[in-house]
Chains A and B, each alone.
Chain A
Amino acid sequence: MSVSSEQKVDNGAVGHAPHPAPAAQKTSWWKDEAQESTRRNLGLVGVLLALFAIGAFIRPDLYSDADWVVNNIMVILTQAAAIGVITVGMTFVIIGGGIDLSVGALIALSGVWATTLATQSFGPVGMIFTAVAVGIGAGLVNGALVAYGKLVPFIATLAMLVAARGLAAQISGKQTQISTDTFINSLATTRPLGIPMLVIILLVVAGLGWVLLNRTTFGRRTVAIGGNPEAARLAGINVRGHTMLLYALSGLCCGIAAIMLTSLATSSQAAAAELYELDAIAAAIIGGTLLSGGRGTIVGSLFGVIVFSAITNLFAIANLPTEVQNMVKGAIIVVAVLLQQVRFSSITQFARRHGLTRAKPQT
């Protein structure tokens, strides 16, 4: 816990702490508010390294084989791919002050709709178009209910969750629909340059999401609306229209993920993507996205997804039962949210206030 001497003097004089240091003040990256997300991401990288170390300790026979290790990393990333794509959409919705509980159901609906015999007769282009169009369409309905119908996002998307699963069951006749399209099925098996195609799709979606969030007015407006919708409205942002677009974006991600999942399982069914909404929300949160909106990063969310995927993988390799895995997942979410409340910078302040560091005593 290195505390620079200027800091001590400054805080001692001001008396209370939570304000960021003035611009002229030199601050260490550890305490800089703007670096909060970097610190969090480094923390998640640390978790990944720890998981790797635990794996190497439990199964040294496997982890000493370089080919196996590379392949295992690809497996972890492949399993993170579909959830990663919907988490990108989820991150936008949450930053914009909403929540989308319908993502798992929308994947099932898009996937089922895209794998009906009629759709499959149009070939891969028809299937991809259908999945994406259904996703966007359902997302727009979510958005319209929230933005114009003034429904609470939780309720609107919960209703969509139930309805979309119902419609998916209706369309599929509750059967598992097998995809016979070789192009779609080959997405999961091809590895250009040694990287699975699905991972490449995830990286492209995440890259586009990063640009959209950080380098466009659309992204700045999303943050503004999530931070303070009234202020955003007064600043001339079309809050309702923008909110609707956010849910459509989430729906688009569901459509893409539906194709990815269909290709992985070479089939689709109404019960597919069970509880993906919770995985996506949890990943966004442990990645540092604030549930109340206004703050979050794409990179953080991606790390969140990869951490969950790595845990599932590690538990399989260690041959531990699923129930233990779920308990660990739950604990990680709680710890992540607690950390979110505490903030790293306030730990040093807390320490200083209680004389745990050699700070000048306050009066």
Chain B
Amino acid sequence: MTNPIPDTSRRRLLFGGTAIAAGALLTACTSNEQTPTPTQTKGADTENPNTAAGKAVTIGFSAPAADHGWIAAITNNAKAQAGAYKDVTFKQVEAGKDAAAQRAALDTLIAEKPDVIVLLPHDGKELNAFGLKAMEAGIPVVNLDRAFPDALAYRLQIKGDNYGMGVAAGHYIGKTLKAKNVASPIIGEIAGMDELELTQERSAGFKAALATYGFTVANRRAARFTADSGQKEAQNLLQALPKMDALWNHDDDQGIGVLAAITAANRSEFFMVGGAGSKKAIEDIAADKTVLKATVTYSPSMASSAISLARLIAQGRGMSDLVELQVPKEVILASETITKENASTYLKLGF
């Protein structure tokens, strides 16, 4: 159109050849094979009578497909735990990208009449109505982590303790600083996504626990649960606080970036506490070469427990250590503090 004389074919050949070669090379580069993702499951080899095969049950499962390590671990754990039982058929439905998509996917799941549904909703309030509907249809719902406000919407609610996580971090920092006899310490906080209720709960717990020691947070920044946002907020926080005594970072995934910023700034006068309990963080704590000295857990192992309990509900069995013949209605996991001393026992729970 613009050039009546055809382009020299050599140039095109060269370009085309390079493009194809680059493409071939690149596709080879997507491989990410390492040891299979470790999952946190409870084996069937214990002497627990509940592990004995019972009535065959179908467990429906749905969790958001978020691109975050924690959610990925939730789904992997649920799948692996279901695979550990011979009497469980695991039926996973994609949750799509928002509450509406998840609701639509779950409606098709109800039609298939599973014995029990394990559900991590995009948003507990938005999917509350689905919980009610499933329960009315006679399918028990196990509500995982993000809570339904309505008690009629679930048979079992199993979740982590965000407030308790903040409390655990606050107590660890408070105790350590008291032991060091620091009079008025400067404490920094790097939160996760600030618009989420869980972030607010974590910060509230942290504040309350610190208050019992007479300490306050000097500067609080909110990142986005990603390493690059963590790096950015940490870099600014370090500028704002040229001298710091302690730092709590809500999430170990964003903590990778936070640690990178601390290393780049050559700062080591303070200690840092993480959150969630990722494998990398636990390894760092055990190695004790960075400022990261502890992390408070919010473990995705709750998905494995949810599957186990869902199976018991569907089979009409109770938890063997309890007197009751049925599974309780609410289980709230305690947030545990991982330090150098106990890191080795927690390493298998890291994700």
Contacts and interface: CB of A to CB of B under 8 A. Distances in A.
Contacts of B30: 113, 116, 118, 171
B27 to A, nearest CB: 10
A1 to B, nearest CB: 39
A322 interface: yes
Interface residues of B, number: 53
A317 B253 contact: no
Interface string B24-35: 011011111110
A331 B233 CA distance: 22
B237 interface: yes
Contacts of B225: 271
Contacts of A313: 236, 239
Contacts of B229: 274
A116 B32 contact: yes
A312 B232 contact: yes
A75 B194 contact: no
Contact of A118 (B29, B256, B259, B264): B29
Contacts of A273: 228
A272 interface: yes
Q: Is the interface of B mostly helix, strand, loop or mixed?
A: helix
A225 B231 CA distance: 39
A319 B32 contact: no
Interface of B: 1-3, 22-23, 25-26, 28-34, 37, 65-69, 71-72, 194, 218-222, 224-233, 235-237, 239-240, 242, 253, 256-257, 259-261, 263-264, 280
Contact of A265 (B65, B69, B222, B230): B230
Nearest to A237: B2
B256 A176 contact: yes
A71 B238 CA distance: 11
A265 B263 CA distance: 11
Interface stretch (A20-28, A33-41, A129-137, A211-219): A129-137
A137 B23 contact: yes
Given A72-B239, A176-B256, A118 B67 contact: no
A188 B264 contact: yes
Contacts of A267: 227, 256-257, 260
A322 B242 contact: no
A362 interface: no
Given A264-B264, A266-B227, A274-B224, 20 more contacts: A113-B30, A118-B28, A130-B26, A133-B22, A134-B26, A172-B32, A173-B37, A175-B69, A176-B69, A178-B280, A185-B260, A188-B264, A189-B263, A266-B259, A267-B256, A270-B67, A312-B236, A319-B219, A319-B220, A322-B221
